[in-house]
A = this chain, B = another copy of it.
């Protein structure tokens, strides 16, 4: 891994927390131990601990050994597009049930997002996404027809490659995306698939992805169980923000 020392220390600790080598409730190695382990001074070690604290991974007062609070680990931004790639980057197992794939005329909202005319044909895909067999997200994705057509011969087995890897192989340039976050109440379909009550709050991500030159190929409405997934943004003055989709492990006692 590249980047400053404190980031490498933080990344290593995240990995140990995510893997359960440092389980929830256990203390982290002391500052002195970490300094020795990394041949580092206190500065980078404290910066690393501070990053983990900001992420909510560790807690505990100043001067006392930090305790692992959760194993939710934020991920690099490249994994924001592909659910299955993201899941695997966390060491989790992605799953999916394809509920519908259909070629149909575009509704107004979709036509606007894809810069096509209302009524132009599109390919719509509805999938339930799972994380370690746990219902996590309902994904309603629409592709422009030229791209969607390629999916008719796609094998949706998530053990194989993601749709995005497949489309890239087919020469489709999906390299720019915009994500809009809000909250919606679960509709009857969401409720039944995600095993939650109708009306329960869901974190919604609407995503538009396309080519570097701005041609849109995909529009998606993804609805997450907020007890399983959050999205996080880190920012600092004079620095670029970083963004991650983050997994929330099952609360103790549930599942």
Contacts and interface: CB of A to CB of B under 8 A. Distances in A.
A180 B56 contact: yes
How many monomers of this protein are in the complex?
2
B231 A77 contact: no
Interface in A200-255: 200-204, 208, 210, 212-216, 226, 229-237, 240-243, 246
A234 B200 contact: no
B50 A232 contact: no
Interface residues of A, number: 64
A178 B214 contact: no
B61 A232 contact: no
B236 A175 contact: yes
Contact of A232 (B178, B199, B226): B178
A213 B204 CA distance: 33
Interface stretch (A31-39, A84-92, A135-143, A182-190): A182-190
Contact of A61 (B116, B181, B229): B116
Interface string A94-112: 0000000000000010011
B178 A234 contact: yes
Interface in A51-109: 51, 53-56, 59-62, 64, 69, 77-78, 80, 108
A246 B55 CA distance: 24
A40 interface: no
A216 B180 contact: no
A29 to B, nearest CB: 18
A62 B115 contact: yes
Contacts of A183: 183-184, 201-204, 226
Closest 5 CB pairs of A and B: A50-B214, A59-B112, A240-B240, A201-B201, A183-B183
Given A62-B115, A175-B236, A241-B241, 20 more contacts: A46-B214, A50-B115, A50-B214, A51-B214, A53-B216, A54-B210, A56-B180, A60-B112, A61-B115, A77-B235, A179-B235, A181-B203, A181-B231, A182-B203, A183-B202, A199-B199, A201-B201, A212-B236, A240-B240, A241-B243
